[in-house]
Structure 1
């Protein structure tokens, strides 16, 4: 199913979503036909704002190749009782967990042949839409960066899949400390061609991250939306940092949560050893066309470092302190308040940086609402007509 690209920069009118697959749905394409040239005025404005290319759909910020109908239909899709959703904010271990789940659920290899990559066999629902998801065989392993409010939850009653398996779909929700997430997402935006931001600067990206003006929305709001549901029976909560420190234990947790074949595999020593070995960084850095086609990237491999505290190589002390204050303001008196003390502290010797407690004041940066309004109201932004085709494999 090749999806025509349109460059949307304005909130679009409601459209009736599609919920039924075509008779012969084609897999998303992997060839390099997914970059729609910007109008000269649009390109100049993005450069002036030092902003990655984006789209607005119903007031939400998305990657520029996302289709409004696909986003809307994904929000309203009816999950099956056998569905497994890997749910994250970008760069919080999404592909890592998908890779583990694919081995546990299907016990077979995938990619890099066209149409068999992980981002095709386990697609992002808001990218491909409900109709394409309907064409997949179950159990379906699906990916999403939706906040809890946008997540499809209520499965179909009386469906064959529901009768065979559990009555509720399963959600694996993973988090990562915001400083490392920010740095990793910065590299992601520079590396993927669709954002047209290969020379982007970290200081500019940091401001966009702090104000939630990036594709897939605000990190802190996304995290808060999930907090009341961490202990739900059909939700498995994982921390990226815990997976780094104890990968085998994390694979066991995932296997027992999924049940069935997955639970049997993690109790088989040989199978568990193989899956853990194939899920380590050095193994995932091999043959990276399994995740996304190289044609979608500028230069870097998709799996880059997979580490913690890489943010110290990019953030100034002032930026680190601002992030600390933003984190406390957003997550004070929540279960997340005590997370990542070691990962987010400035000093390596264990002494926490003394970030001031006053509310953040960004005199050099417009407020989030004003910033968003400043570029959506510009005369330079007009939806582009498109005759090209876009790849479903061009975003994290």
Structure 2
């Protein structure tokens, strides 16, 4: 139905039964965006010729995509900021799933830097045979949910949510671009041994950006001097990127992003997963401090006011406990496919699991 000639201005046939919701087009159990992606072209990605020098960054939407784009271009430029001030992130590290991306990919000299939100099954077969390198960046799904909700409010190619309850329901059911967060990370992580694969998290990058950049350099075989490394780190900070219109997407036309309704880079700090190390999480002071910190946060205070009922209030309560407990409890609330999806917690990665286990130990003593 969607063809390679479709553009962002083409109308959506809302009567087509294959249109899942607003501008989403289901293809092979994955939601593409009408006018942005072509199912035929996405299917051709598996046949792309891959070079050993190709680098693919993979993220679920709102999981640090422009951050990893920024870091990769700076690493490749050995800290030279010129490319980062002259071209958009999306031009320096384009998405492989966009319409017309194959021709651009074939004509780009090495090293080719690319990014994708696609699931593992769509990747080039050569990548799944250890050609090229893949860096997967994961982010706490609680933060992804809130960030993705705000993004939907000003992204022209996506449906504006009726309210947070409505978006929460769709996020849980995977009725968004990228589908279910848990399924996305599971398919990639479960197949990590088939690729030259590096897994990192948004939370690790916030905690110690330099260490993560050094880790990426080792994985990519890049040897940077101390001065070059310092430049990469400095120009990959939230503060610096927020001031760079090529990195913060302020240069993107209003026809794609309504800058009056929001900003691409809203805040630096992830709520991160709670850790019980060195604290008595059962104490009333600790619980009350955690509650107050959530209420002070500008995004969550508007999303979860005290009087709100329904699933948003449920999520607010779930946010007070670690991710693993959340995954275990959700099947009791959501039935069918949603429940089945959230039982895949065993594939969630060690960083998230370890943080959750620490909290479970404390919760068991409450």
Residue 214 (structure 2) pairs with residue 264 (structure 1): no
Structure 2 distance, partners of 1:243, 1:191, is 26
Q: Counterparts in 2 of 1:58-69, with a 5 A limit?
A: 58-65=28-35, 66-69=37-40
TM-score, length basis structure 1: 0.66
Q: Tell me if structure 1 keeps the 8 A contact 2:66–2:247.
A: no
Cα distance in 1 for partners of 2:105, 2:243 equals 28
1:340–1:203 Cα change, 3 Å: farther
- What does 1:301-316 correspond to in 2, within 5 Å? 301-309=263-271, 312-313=300-301, 314=303, 316=312
Question: Aligned to 1:186, what secondary structure does the other structure show?
Answer: helix
Q: 1:271 to 1:330 in 2, by over 3 A?
A: same
SS for the counterpart of 1:195 is coil
Distance 1:153 1:170, change over 3 A: farther
**Given that residues 203 and 270 in structure 2 are in contact (C-alpha distance below 8 angstroms), is that contact kept between their aligned partners in structure 1?**
yes
Residue 146 of structure 1 aligns with which residue?
118
The Cα shift of 1:230 comes to: 4.3
Whole-Å Cα distance in 2 between the matches of residues 168 and 38 of structure 1?
38
Q: Which residue of 2 is the match for residue 180 of structure 1?
A: 143
The CA distance in 2 between the partners of 1:4 and 1:76, in whole Å, is 20
- For 1:225 and 1:187, how far apart are their aligned partners in 2? 26
Structure 1 residues 156 and 243: CA distance shift in structure 2, 3 A: closer
Give the Cα–Cα distance (whole angstroms) in 2 for the partners of residues 140 and 81 of structure 1.
10
**TM-score of the superposed pair, with normalisation by structure 2:** 0.71
- Unmatched 5+ residue regions in structure 1? 7-33, 158-166, 355-396
1:333 counterpart SS class: helix
Q: 2:314 aligned to 313, 318, 328, which one?
A: 318
Structure 2 unpaired stretches of 5+: 272-296, 305-311, 329-341
Number of equivalent positions: 299
RMSD across aligned positions (CA): 3.5
Greater helix proportion: 2
Matches of 1:257 and 1:62, distance apart in 2: 31
2:72 alignment counterpart: 101
Residue 339 of structure 1: SS of its match in structure 2? Answer: helix
Question: CA contact under 8 A between 1:209 and 1:218: conserved in structure 2?
Answer: yes
- Conserved in 2, the CA contact under 8 Å of 1:331 and 1:337? no
Cross-structure match for 1:92: 63
SS in 2 for 1:270: helix
Could you say if the C-alpha distance between residues 274 and 147 of structure 1 is closer, same or farther in structure 2, counting changes exceeding 3 Å? same
Report the equivalent of 1:379: none
- Secondary structure at the aligned position of 2:349 is classed as helix
In the other structure, the counterpart of 1:5 is 6
- Rounded Cα–Cα distance in structure 2 between residues aligned with 1:156 and 1:229: 8
**Change in 2 beyond 3 A, CA 1:272/1:343:** farther
Residue 244 (structure 1) aligned to one of 186, 206, 211: 206
Conservation of the 8 A alpha-carbon contact between 1:90 and 1:185: yes
Measure the CA separation in 2 of the matches of 1:291 and 1:281.
9
Residue in structure 2 matching 1:294, options 252, 256, 259? 252
Point out which structure has higher relative CO (alpha carbons under 8 A, 6+ apart): 1
Offset, 1:306: 3.1
